[in-house]
A and B are shown apart, each in its own frame.
Chain A
Amino acid sequence: MNFPLRRTSAQSLASAVFRLREIGILFALGAAVAFFAIRAPNFLSTGNWQGIAQNVAIVIVVGVGETLVVLTRNIDLSVGSIVGLTAYLSAATFAHHTGASVALVALIAIAIGFGLGLVNGLLVAVARVPAIIATLATLAIYRGVDVQITGGGNITAYQLPDRFLKLASTKPVGVPTLAWIAAGVAIVGAAAVRWAPWSRDFYAIGSNPEAARFAGIPVGRRVITAFAISGALAGLGGFLFASRFPTVDAVAAKGFELDVITAVVIGGVNVFGGSGTMLGVVLGALLVATIQDGFTLLRISEFWRLFFNGFAIVVAVTIDALVTRRLQEALRRRRAEALAARHLEAGT
């Protein structure tokens, strides 16, 4: 049975709620900017905004990949260690081969990240290890490998070629190169989840894995793809991380996964899977970065940052769950009404 009219209104209700989510973050962002602009005198300076853009860029790059994973109702905790490992490997490659091409090293970092992500995906989809446990284990394992490779040493900015460091320091049209790269990744990611048929599957899997399986979607393969892309983007993130923070050691990017997950969850990607937009993730990352920057300017202890990250996750998850429940309630009522109307028309 089809009720085109009713379906459209149900769909528009759903999309209205999700638009509301993005507007909500925009409001919060506006409020945060206004607050810090008043309290911290140099908050509105160009330099400060460029700093925020640089900080947010790597979170966005990694966040786009994490979003795909969360859409499939999984989670990837290992991105912090993948970023750390690929950051060190990128820096080490430049230190040992000063003439190496920047693009080539970036590709190597992405490939390594892809491989590590693939391992996560196989563990989750083939070996059936719950994502939280699988990536908690690989978070430790990848960091252990990182420590093994660095052997307690580190790479400093002096060992790295200027071409590589320029990636973080140049600002074409006043916007840092890192931010341009992040924008590119976010746009490609947004286009992919909007239009690519294979990435629409991510939403289907996250909404209802069983139904997706029955609908003939290759669930396992898609979950592996999501993890592999998340790993690859974490690899790219690690490459950028090394150019932004060129002194790389074995603890680089420790805890970075929490920044990423906070941005993704605040950005409205539902931890129940199946809903979320890249625009939301970008806004979420911006909100987190803005508030952290404001905290720094106001000389609030950086430990409050950690607390804030966690608190924000809890609040976002709570709001999401309550809104989702309301929405489902409303949709169910509409369906029931539509059915009732149909019955009345038919005179039964």
Chain B
Amino acid sequence: MTAARAIALRLLARWETLLVVAIVGAGIWSTTLSPFFLKRANLLDLVTPYIFIGLMAFGLTFVVVAGEIDISIVSNMAVSVVCFAQVFDAGVNVWLAALIGLVVATVLGLVNGALVSVLDLPSLAITLGTMAAYAGLAYVILSGEGVASFPSGYTKIGGGYIAGNELPIALPVILAVAVVLGIVLHATRFGRYVFTIGSNREAARFSGIPVMRVRMAVFAASGLMAGLAGVVYVGYFGSARADAGTGSLLDVVTAVVLGGVDIFGGAGSMLGVFLALVLVAELRNGMQLANIQGDTQDIVIGGLLLAAIVAGNLVRRAQTGRFRVRPLRLGRKEVIAHDAADALMPSKLAPQNLKGR
């Protein structure tokens, strides 16, 4: 067991090393495109426009490690952004309005969580539905109009700089969030529960882990992070629109998967996700320098996402000698487990139990 864990840890370390190498490589490529890339101000500012994506990726990490998926996360952020804007527009203090945005996003995350964990429905289909529903909701709440009259005291924090006007406030913020969430995921009982549920939900249930509550909490956390992303989004862009964040789902999922989080659940690290976020930000920045359009950039990022999963599969194949045969996780485990229980407990089927009928 310890040997297996040592190997797993070493592989994980290798994955993150690989990410660092990729970051350096992309940095060299960017430098050839523009000599300004290596300026300290540019390096420090690299991740700033991707902070909201990073926050969502951190939230999604919990969900994916638990063996689920939440593709509604970007729509959820849009709802939190427009709620924030509407409440602020109605004359409420900007901080209170931001708090309300957070609460709304957490509630929407809880809705996902309740459907997935209490009713035991497939998270893929449920969050596909809520992705559309929440996106529609955002438009309905802010009916096509934007709000851009946020006080500068607020937007200065989102898009502002400290330490000689060079260090964007956003950078220490995302670092702090990454560290805190990393501790929660890797060094608390809750985090261990999330990993255990992701590796084997049945085993987790039999070991007395409150599976339902933890799965619910994971989706609530994902919602909360979407809300936080919304708060940061408004601070950075200084405006709120119903289509906030449209198209960033690809980046969010790529950051998580490229970060080495096992898409089948049960493995992953916050550090990896953070490094993958830096890599994605760096690549997008580099492609901007090379004058490549946003939608064309998506080809590269999408390819990266696919490559990350294929690479992960190859690593796993090298480890175990075969691919994992699980085409899609859709919550069938329960049913199979039931059948297995029937097979193991023939007494249930024995005639004496049915004689009275």
Measuring CB to CB, which residues of chain A are less than 8 angstroms from any residue of chain B?
Answer: 73-75, 123-124, 127-134, 136-141, 143-148, 209-210, 213, 223, 250, 258, 261-262, 265, 271-273, 301, 303-314, 317-318, 321-322, 325, 328, 332, 336-337, 339-340, 343-344, 348
Question: Measured between C-beta atoms, what is the minimum distance from A141 to chain B in Å?
Answer: 4
Question: Measured between C-beta atoms, what is the minimum distance from B76 to chain A in Å?
Answer: 12
Asked if B257 contacts A127 (CB within 8 A), the reply is no
Contacts A137-B302, A223-B327, A307-B140 supplied; 8 other A-B pairs, CB < 8 Å? A73-B327, A132-B69, A138-B302, A139-B302, A143-B298, A146-B295, A301-B143, A306-B136
Question: Given A147-B296, A314-B129, A317-B121, is A133 in contact with B309 using a C-beta cutoff of 8 Å?
Answer: yes
With the chains together, A141 CA to B307 CA distance in Å? Answer: 13
- The residues of B that contact A271 with a CB separation of less than 8 Å are 122, 124-125, 330
Asked if A140 contacts B125 (CB within 8 A), the reply is no
Q: Total contacts A to B, CB within 8 angstroms?
A: 184
Asked if B302 contacts A273 (CB within 8 A), the reply is no
Within 8 Å by CB of A144, from B140, B299, B353, lies B299
Output the nearest chain B residue to A325 by Cβ-Cβ distance.
Answer: B335
Question: Given A73-B330, A130-B263, A313-B128, is A140 in contact with B136 using a C-beta cutoff of 8 Å?
Answer: no
B14 within 8 A of A: no
Asked if B327 contacts A311 (CB within 8 A), the reply is no
Asked if A132 contacts B124 (CB within 8 A), the reply is yes
- The residues of A that contact B313 with a CB separation of less than 8 Å are 127-129
Question: Measured between C-beta atoms, what is the minimum distance from A211 to chain B in Å?
Answer: 10
B249 within 8 A of A: yes
Question: Measured between C-beta atoms, what is the minimum distance from A250 to chain B in Å?
Answer: 7
Asked if A140 contacts B349 (CB within 8 A), the reply is no
Contacting residues of chain B (199-238) with chain A, CB-CB under 8 angstroms = none
Asked if A318 contacts B328 (CB within 8 A), the reply is no
Measuring CB to CB, which residues of chain B are less than 8 angstroms from any residue of chain A?
Answer: 69, 71, 115, 119-122, 124-126, 128-137, 139-140, 143-144, 242, 249-250, 253, 257, 263-264, 293, 295-299, 301-303, 305-306, 309-310, 313, 323-325, 327-332, 335, 338-339, 342, 348-351, 353-354, 357
Asked if B122 contacts A272 (CB within 8 A), the reply is yes
- The residues of A that contact B297 with a CB separation of less than 8 Å are 144
Question: Given A317-B122, A321-B119, is A310 in contact with B130 using a C-beta cutoff of 8 Å?
Answer: yes
Nearest 8 interchain pairs by C-beta: A310-B133, A307-B136, A310-B132, A306-B136, A313-B129, A303-B139, A144-B299, A147-B295
With the chains together, A317 CA to B132 CA distance in Å? Answer: 14
Asked if B303 contacts A132 (CB within 8 A), the reply is no
Asked if B301 contacts A140 (CB within 8 A), the reply is yes
Output the nearest chain A residue to B331 by Cβ-Cβ distance.
Answer: A272
- The residues of B that contact A306 with a CB separation of less than 8 Å are 132-133, 135-136, 139
Interface of A is mostly: helix
- The residues of A that contact B335 with a CB separation of less than 8 Å are 325, 328
With the chains together, A328 CA to B323 CA distance in Å? Answer: 30
Within 8 Å by CB of B140, from A134, A209, A258, A301, lies A301
Asked if B253 contacts A145 (CB within 8 A), the reply is no
With the chains together, A321 CA to B144 CA distance in Å? Answer: 35
Asked if B128 contacts A336 (CB within 8 A), the reply is no
Question: Given A307-B140, A321-B119, is A128 in contact with B323 using a C-beta cutoff of 8 Å?
Answer: yes
With the chains together, A148 CA to B132 CA distance in Å? Answer: 27
Asked if A340 contacts B132 (CB within 8 A), the reply is no
Asked if A317 contacts B301 (CB within 8 A), the reply is no
- The residues of B that contact A210 with a CB separation of less than 8 Å are 325
- The residues of B that contact A144 with a CB separation of less than 8 Å are 295-299, 302
With the chains together, A243 CA to B327 CA distance in Å? Answer: 37
Within 8 Å by CB of A143, from B125, B295, B353, lies B295
Question: Measured between C-beta atoms, what is the minimum distance from B114 to chain A in Å?
Answer: 11
With the chains together, A250 CA to B293 CA distance in Å? Answer: 13
Output the nearest chain A residue to B242 by Cβ-Cβ distance.
Answer: A303
- The residues of A that contact B140 with a CB separation of less than 8 Å are 301, 303-304, 307
- The residues of A that contact B310 with a CB separation of less than 8 Å are 127-129
With the chains together, A335 CA to B342 CA distance in Å? Answer: 11
With the chains together, A303 CA to B342 CA distance in Å? Answer: 48
Asked if A348 contacts B351 (CB within 8 A), the reply is yes
With the chains together, A305 CA to B295 CA distance in Å? Answer: 26
